[in-house]
Amino acid sequence: MAAGLGIIGIILYLLIFVVSIVGLVCFIMVLVQMFKHEQNGLGIACIILAFCTGIGPLIAFVYGWIKAKEWDLKKVMLAWTVAIVLQVCLLIGAVVMVLGAAAAGSQSLQKMDFDSSGFNIDTGDVNIDFPPIENMQTEEVPATDGAAATPDAEN
């Protein structure tokens, strides 16, 4: 089951990648139309905001739908809309898959009996004895006036 989940995950993420490329191509096509129709400021703003805040494609998406009929962008905008919907659905599927795998993994760990797993550490004859804390003796060193106190120094 784990191998099948890995293959499904790879296919899912490849689909997300392909759909993202479709969205990027649609964004570029809308930008080209903006520059063709002398909307240079808006095109530059969308490019800059795409890198700075990520909101540039949203602006281009909304403006592309507003001008879809005038600029003959209906097919491009429909493809971009389908790509966005597919991205959201695939990403939700990926999150559900990851959460399901994590839940299944934690359940299998809870069912595992570590005492009977055969995992033993042989320490051999190593025996370290530490003295009890109450028997430890400490030396108190009196502090002097600004001079460094050492155990050998006496006033």
Greater confidence (111 vs 140) lies with: 140
62 burial (CB, 10 Å; 0-12 / 13-18 / 19+) is exposed
Determine the pLDDT at residue 1.
46
Q: pLDDT at residue 129 above 70?
A: no
% of residues, the chain, pLDDT over 70: 64
Highest mean pLDDT among 25-34, 92-101, 119-128: 25-34
* pLDDT tens, position by position, 27-38: 999 999 999 999
Residue that has been written with the tokens 């494609």 in this structure: 57
Give the C-alpha distances (Å, rounded to integers) separating 133 from 46, 96, 138, 139, 141.
70, 54, 11, 14, 20
In whole angstroms, give the CA distance from residue 47 to residue 31.
Answer: 8
The residues, any chain, with a CB within 8 Å of residue 37's CB and separated by 6 or more, are 67, 71
Q: Check residue 126 and give its pLDDT.
A: 67
- Higher-confidence residue: 126 or 11? 11
Residues 72-84: pLDDT tens digits?
999 999 999 999 9
CA count, 13 A, side-chain hemisphere, 134: 0
The residue ranking higher by pLDDT, 85 or 106, is 85
Sequence length of the chain is: 155
Q: What is the pTM of this model?
A: 0.63
Question: Whose CA is closest to 57, among 35, 26, 79?
Answer: 26
CB 12 within 8 A of CB 90: yes
